[in-house]
């Protein structure tokens, strides 16, 4: 019959439920940019190894072992991986009450009419009723209009349209829309036959009928003898196809059960097979469910008819024989060949109890409770599908576990989670009074068309209960299913479920499921193991690469740490040395009260000043020195002394002692020699230049001779101590005699005095020689004699150090005079300060100097 599209109603709103989607092209940048990314190592420091991404990427991923070839000759080419959920719509023809008799209602409450719905029923009566309905179809005002084979328009009744301003809605995207005059055969061909073919090829599938009460679900699923429904048609086809292929190795089993809530007290599972009882459910498995082997279609139909008689039904305003339970039929296929592992698929057909509105059904009491259970189950079923849809739209959204809320959804979990393929048929009535039910169903169910099944290509070895295999493969135990003789022993998840039902021997067929189960489990296990091994190898390689990377890094870290430690040690040593040097420098600086230049100048001036009269006193000629010469000598001495000080400051600490000894001594000796030359020149004495030179050279010799230095030191100290000891001892002695304010000046004064003493001692010794040679001792001034005596006395090694101190103290008078100038304290403290007290003695008459030593 050709369907005519209705004229476009201006108030019609088109609702596109399943718009075509175009896959977005993957941006080329994402694919091409990744290889062009420069390695991170190029930018990192050389020492730090880069992340071994290249190593990881270079890991050879082991290939999956080839899947075992399907031995089944009927193996089809692989189906597309992704497949949309197929949703069909069937519109039940309107049955006018007037045509069904006086007492008949839409729900066909007449008991006689109920008998018509019973299956199998009298085909003649059924046909008569159908003819009547077909005649009256066009006269009825319908709410739903078929636009084409994939869309319908739902129009509200006039009353609703005017009062609530409800507009017509178009629902499209259905896999197929079966109009009111579509036959069962047509529905089967379009909707069920593909499922059956897949089932025969080893794919499990499910067909579920949804719709409001009285919309024709049961009619579609089971049909009538005249119009057999999907179940009889499936059975007919599978046997027909098996016989056609001539293969006797394939067997079929059927199980039928219902989930029913009596007075709403809780869901129960009843086996509808002959002799079936109440069953229990564990997770998704129904324990004790009979698997009745069927050998032909007739036997199967009889079995179905018997089962339907046991199904819970009730009379409502919507349906005279309304289903009060959810009925599930499983048709399973088993291959009996021991060497052939194939086709253990299950085809599940579900006849849901129709959603009921209280107003519409008029249910009360027990019926109302049943109605609640029915509606609840329908709602949970819808929630599961909605959750699956949301999850597929946005994988971040977790798949809700709505299936736990009803036994039906628990049992159908694999289907409701998209793991197995299924199809839905929505049944609606076209009457205006059914508008709300129809609208509600279409609104709820039309989005399900977008659900995709990504894992529909099931392995032929998978059983209807996929979870069952997974459980066994997980624990590594072979599946144990046993059916010996006519007894079916089913071991499911370690629990033995014994079928109590025994088929009659003549119609029962032996089903050896043990081999199939074991082979299937072994196959499943091997596939799982191969996959796990592959994953394990990948992870192992990545872990090994990472481990090597971390090991290298750790090694370099260790080296860096040791370097850091050694550097720290060096730094610590340097700091210590630096501190020592600083301390020493500060000590030295603290000893140097004045700046270097001033000190040198002052000291030199003092030295020159002190040496000048001394020379005069020594009587080598004229006591007056030319001022120019004096300046010259002063400046030269000053320069020399300054150089000496500079050397002192700049010389390393370790060398300073020696430096101080040698240079100061040399300085003093030079100075004394210089003085001597100067005096000889001035006084025109008998000392020749040669002698002066010899003196100088002797002095220089002394300067360069450590031994002589020591002697000088000994002479100076008088008790054999070295200069350092003397320094200490003198310092202590001086410290006793002087105030603290004088002490800082001691450092430089010591050197100065040292030089003076040496100069004096040297000159004294030499003078002594000169005196001896020239026999002019008589003309020598007393002071000179004293000096000589003093020098000689000083050179006496037996002179105790205490005497030195005492001797120094005995020059207190001279100190007072020396205080006129800030003379260094050491020059005062030394015992030979008398020799340096030249300024005092300048004014004294020659030869009148009294020697304190007596």
Ligand X SMILES: Nc1ncnc2c1ncn2[C@@H]1O[C@H](COP(=O)(O)OP(=O)(O)OP(=O)(O)O)[C@@H](O)[C@H]1O
Report the interface residues with ligand X, using CB under 6 A.
Answer: 92-93, 108, 116-117, 130, 211, 213-219, 319, 321-323, 353-354, 427
**273 vs 322 by CB, closer to ligand X:** 322
d(CA 674, CA 763): 10
The tokens for 186 are: 């047509």
Nearest-approach distance from CB 224 to ligand X, in angstroms:
7
**130 vs 656 by CB, closer to ligand X:** 130
**218 vs 251 by CB, closer to ligand X:** 218
Number of H helices, E strands in the chain: 30, 22
- 808 is an annotated ligand-binding site residue: no
- 38 is an annotated ligand-binding site residue: no
Residue closest to 271 by CA, chosen among 280, 262, 261: 280
**108 vs 258 by CB, closer to ligand X:** 108
Nearest-approach distance from CB 436 to ligand X, in angstroms:
16
Nearest-approach distance from CB 525 to ligand X, in angstroms:
43
Residue closest to 429 by CA, chosen among 92, 140, 192: 92
Residue closest to 797 by CA, chosen among 725, 714, 726, 739: 714
**117 vs 668 by CB, closer to ligand X:** 117
292-294 and 12-15 beta bridge pairing: unpaired
Q: What is the DSSP letter of 176?
A: E
Question: In this structure, is the dihedral angle defined by the CA atoms of residues 125, 130, 136 and 140, taken in order, positive or negative?
Answer: positive
Nearest-approach distance from CB 361 to ligand X, in angstroms:
9
- 213 is an annotated ligand-binding site residue: yes
Q: Is residue 247 classed exposed, middle or buried when 0-12, 13-18 and 19+ CB atoms within 10 A define those classes?
A: middle
- 216 is an annotated ligand-binding site residue: yes
Nearest-approach distance from CB 148 to ligand X, in angstroms:
20
**175 vs 634 by CB, closer to ligand X:** 175
The tokens for 454 are: 């990504």
**215 vs 826 by CB, closer to ligand X:** 215
**215 vs 444 by CB, closer to ligand X:** 215
Inter-CA distances, 162 with 11, 158, 166, 437, 438, Å: 12, 6, 7, 19, 19
- 320 is an annotated ligand-binding site residue: no
**What is the length of the chain?**
854
Nearest-approach distance from CB 92 to ligand X, in angstroms:
4
**230 vs 604 by CB, closer to ligand X:** 230
Determine the angle formed by the axes of helices 782-795 and 746-774, rounding to 10 degrees.
110
**105 vs 751 by CB, closer to ligand X:** 105
Asked whether 113 and 320 are in contact (CB, 8 A), the reply is: yes
d(CA 684, CA 673): 16
* Percent composition of the chain: helix, strand, coil (DSSP 3-state, to 5): 55, 15, 35
C-alpha dihedral (142, 146, 152, 153), degrees to nearest 10:
-40
- 476 is an annotated ligand-binding site residue: no
Nearest-approach distance from CB 108 to ligand X, in angstroms:
5
The tokens for 234 are: 């499936």
Nearest-approach distance from CB 428 to ligand X, in angstroms:
10
Nearest-approach distance from CB 102 to ligand X, in angstroms:
17
What residues contact residue 100 under an 8 Å CB cut-off, 6+ apart?
108, 110, 113, 129, 132
**213 vs 829 by CB, closer to ligand X:** 213
Residue closest to 256 by CA, chosen among 204, 218, 216, 308: 308
Which secondary-structure segment (H or E) carries 427?
strand 421-429
Nearest-approach distance from CB 338 to ligand X, in angstroms:
43
Nearest-approach distance from CB 369 to ligand X, in angstroms:
16
Nearest-approach distance from CB 211 to ligand X, in angstroms:
6
Residue closest to 459 by CA, chosen among 513, 530, 523: 523
Nearest-approach distance from CB 367 to ligand X, in angstroms:
11
Q: Is residue 210 classed exposed, middle or buried when 0-12, 13-18 and 19+ CB atoms within 10 A define those classes?
A: buried
d(CA 88, CA 174): 6
Q: What is the strand order of the sheet 481-484 is part of?
A: 481-484, 487-492, 495-498
Residue closest to 415 by CA, chosen among 467, 343, 365, 341: 467
Nearest-approach distance from CB 490 to ligand X, in angstroms:
31
The tokens for 173 are: 């995207």
86-92 and 176-178 beta bridge pairing: parallel
**107 vs 288 by CB, closer to ligand X:** 107
d(CA 787, CA 833): 10
**354 vs 431 by CB, closer to ligand X:** 354
- 202 is an annotated ligand-binding site residue: no
**219 vs 420 by CB, closer to ligand X:** 219
For residue 15, the cross-strand partners are 171
For the chain, the C-alpha Rg in angstroms (whole number) is: 62
- 217 is an annotated ligand-binding site residue: yes
For residue 428, the cross-strand partners are 91
d(CA 676, CA 661): 22
Q: What is the DSSP string of 713-745?
A: HHHHHSSS--HHHHHHHHHHHHHHHS-GGGGGG
Annotated binding site for ATP: 211-218
Annotated binding site: 211-218
């Amino acid at each position: 019959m050709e369907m005519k599209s209705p004229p476009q109603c201006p108030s019609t709103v088109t609702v596109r439920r399943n718009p075509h989607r175009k896959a977005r092209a993957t941006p080329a940048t994402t694919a091409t940019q990744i290889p062009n990314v420069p390695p991170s190592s190029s930018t990192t420091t050389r020492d730090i190894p880069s992340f071994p991404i290249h190593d990881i990427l270079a890991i050879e991923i082991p290939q999956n072992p080839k899947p075992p070839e399907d031995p089944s000759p009927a193996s089809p080419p692989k189906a597309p991986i992704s497949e949309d959920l197929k949703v069909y719509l069937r519109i039940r023809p309107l049955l006018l009450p007037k045509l069904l008799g006086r007492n008949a209602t839409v729900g066909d409450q007449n008991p006689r009419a109920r008998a018509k719905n019973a299956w199998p029923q009298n085909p003649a009566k059924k046909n008569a009723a159908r003819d009547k309905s077909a005649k009256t179809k066009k006269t009825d005002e319908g709410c739903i209009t078929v636009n084409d084979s994939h869309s319908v328009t739902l129009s509200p009744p006039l009353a609703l349209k005017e009062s609530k301003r409800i507009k017509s809605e178009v629902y499209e995207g259905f896999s197929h829309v079966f109009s009111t005059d579509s036959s069962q055969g047509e529905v089967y061909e379009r909707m069920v036959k593909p499922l059956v073919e897949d089932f025969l090829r080893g794919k499990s599938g499910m067909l579920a009928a949804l719709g409001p009460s009285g919309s024709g679900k049961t009619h579609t699923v089971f049909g009538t003898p005249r119009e057999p429904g999907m179940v009889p048609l499936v059975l007919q086809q599978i046997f027909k196809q098996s016989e056609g292929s001539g293969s006797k190795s394939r067997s079929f089993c059927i199980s039928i059960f219902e989930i029913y809530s009596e007075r709403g007290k809780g869901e129960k599972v009843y086996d509808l097979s002959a002799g079936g009882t109440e069953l229990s459910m564990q997770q998704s498995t129904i324990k004790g469910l009979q698997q009745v082997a069927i050998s032909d279609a007739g036997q199967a139909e009889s079995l179905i008819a018997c089962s339907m008689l046991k199904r819970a039904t009730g009379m409502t305003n919507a349906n005279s024989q309304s289903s009060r339970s959810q009925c599930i039929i499983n048709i399973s296929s088993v291959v009996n060949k021991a060497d052939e592992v194939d086709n253990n698929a299950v085809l599940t057909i579900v006849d849901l109890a129709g959603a009921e509105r209280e107003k519409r059904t008029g249910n009360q009491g027990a019926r109302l409770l049943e109605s609640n259970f029915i509606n609840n189950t329908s709602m949970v079923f819808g929630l599961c599908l909605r959750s699956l849809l949301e999850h597929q739209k946005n994988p971040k959204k977790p798949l809700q576990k709505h299936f736990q809320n009803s036994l039906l959804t628990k049992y159908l979990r694999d289907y409701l989670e998209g793991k197995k393929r299924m199809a839905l048929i929505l049944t609606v009535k076209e009457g205006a009074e059914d508008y709300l039910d129809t609208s509600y169903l279409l609104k709820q169910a039309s989005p399900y068309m977008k659900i995709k099944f990504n894992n529909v290509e099931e392995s032929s070895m998978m059983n209807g209960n996929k979870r069952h295999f997974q459980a066994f493969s997980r624990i590594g135990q072979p599946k144990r299913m046993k059916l010996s003789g006519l007894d079916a022993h089913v071991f499911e998840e370690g629990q033995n479920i014994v079928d109590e039902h025994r088929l009659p021997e003549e119609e029962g067929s032996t089903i050896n499921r043990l081999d199939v189960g074991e082979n299937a489990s072994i196959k499943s296990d091997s596939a799982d193991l191969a996959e796990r091994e592959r994953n394990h190898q990948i992870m192992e390689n990545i872990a090994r690469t990472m481990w090597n990377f971390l090991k290298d890094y750790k090694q370099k870290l260790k080296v860096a740490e040791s370097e850091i430690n050694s550097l720290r040690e060096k730094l610590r040593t340097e700091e210590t040395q630096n501190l020592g040097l600083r301390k020493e420098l500060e000590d030295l600086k603290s000893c140097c009260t004045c700046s270097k230049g001033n000190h040198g100048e002052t000291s030199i001036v003092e030295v020159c000043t002190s040496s000048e009269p001394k020379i005069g006193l020594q009587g080598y000629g004229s006591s007056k020195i030319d001022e120019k010469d004096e300046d010259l000598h002063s400046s030269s001495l000053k320069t020399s002394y300054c150089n000496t000080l500079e050397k002192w400051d700049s010389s390393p600490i370790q060398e300073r002692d020696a430096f101080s000894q040698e240079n100061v001594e040399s300085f003093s000796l030079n100075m004394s020699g210089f003085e001597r030359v100067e005096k000889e020149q001035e006084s025109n004495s008998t000392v020749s230049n040669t002698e002066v030179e010899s003196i100088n050279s002797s002095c220089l010799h002394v300067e360069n001779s450590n031994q002589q230095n020591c002697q000088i030191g000994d002479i100076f100290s008088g008790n054999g101590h070295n200069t350092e000891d003397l320094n200490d001892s003198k310092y202590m002695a001086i410290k006793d005699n002087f105030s603290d304010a004088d002490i800082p000046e001691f450092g430089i004064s010591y050197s100065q005095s040292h030089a003076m003493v040496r100069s004096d001692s040297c000159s004294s010794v030499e003078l002594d020689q000169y005196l001896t040679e020239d026999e002019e001792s008589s003309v020598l001034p007393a002071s000179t004699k004293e000096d000589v005596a003093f020098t000689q006395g000083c050179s006496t090694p037996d002179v105790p150090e205490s005497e030195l101190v005492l001797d120094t103290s005995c020059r207190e008078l001279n100190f007072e005079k020396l205080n006129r100038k800030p003379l260094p304290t050491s020059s005062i403290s030394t015992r030979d300060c008398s020799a340096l007290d030249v300024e005092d003695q300048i004014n004294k008459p020659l030869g009148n100097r009294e020697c304190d030593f007596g």
